[in-house]
């Protein structure tokens, strides 16, 4: 089973990397960009029986820093 | 308009960060994980009229390294 975990900074947490990318996009002439936030995508290939609780625990223990980050878990088709 | 850009390493490109996370998950007792790949998520807030071509150009010029990375563009609801 493919699982996609998206980890993003919580609202209100400063994102200097996103700000730098925003600035660079403006420098390249893309004026229509209003905001940029950068996060991580973690693609897991897990055994089919893996529980949602196990995935949650992986995120909370290792994949996300719960102090400053949120995560969402998306299960993709059985590919 | 919210746009989510997912940047991932091309198949075949070594992902040492993913391998390290995989190893750590195994160390934590998550044996059901078969593979881990790590990529970037870039969330853009762009003006509604922004064309697909402009988004493609942003990816190719700045957001992705086309030599080793692929990208996908997902338009989210007008939020």
Per-residue pLDDT averaged across B35-48, rounded?
A: 97
For B46, which of A32, A41, A57 is closest by C-beta distance?
Answer: A32
Cβ pair B68, B10 in contact under 8 A:
yes
Q: Label residue B77 by pLDDT band (50, 70, 90).
A: confident
Mutate to test the interface with A, among B30, B35, B70, B73 (most CBs of A within 10 A): B30
For B45, which of A34, A38, A46 is closest by C-beta distance?
Answer: A34
Quick one: pLDDT at residue A77? Answer: 73
- Cα–Cα distance measured from residue A30 to residue A22, given in angstroms and rounded to the nearest whole number: 9
Dihedral angle over CA of A75, B72, A7, B18, nearest 10:
80
Interface residues from chain A to B (CB-CB < 8 Å)? 6-8, 18, 21, 24-25, 28, 30, 32-47, 49-50, 54, 57-58, 61-63
Q: Is the complex ipTM higher than 0.95? A: no
Per-residue pLDDT averaged across B26-40, rounded?
A: 97
Name all domains of chain B by residue range, CATH numbers in brackets. 2-76 (3.30.1280.10)
Give B19-31 as a DSSP string: HHHHHHHHHTT-T
């Amino acid at each position: 089973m493919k699982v996609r975990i998206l980890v993003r900074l919580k609202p209100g947490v400063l994102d200097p990397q996103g700000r730098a990318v925003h600035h660079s996009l403006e420098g390249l002439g893309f004026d229509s960009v209003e905001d940029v936030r950068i996060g991580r995508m973690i693609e897991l290939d897990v055994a089919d029986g893996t529980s949602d609780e196990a995935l949650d625990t992986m995120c909370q223990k290792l994949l996300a820093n719960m102090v400053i980050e949120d995560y969402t878990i998306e299960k993709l088709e059985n590919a």
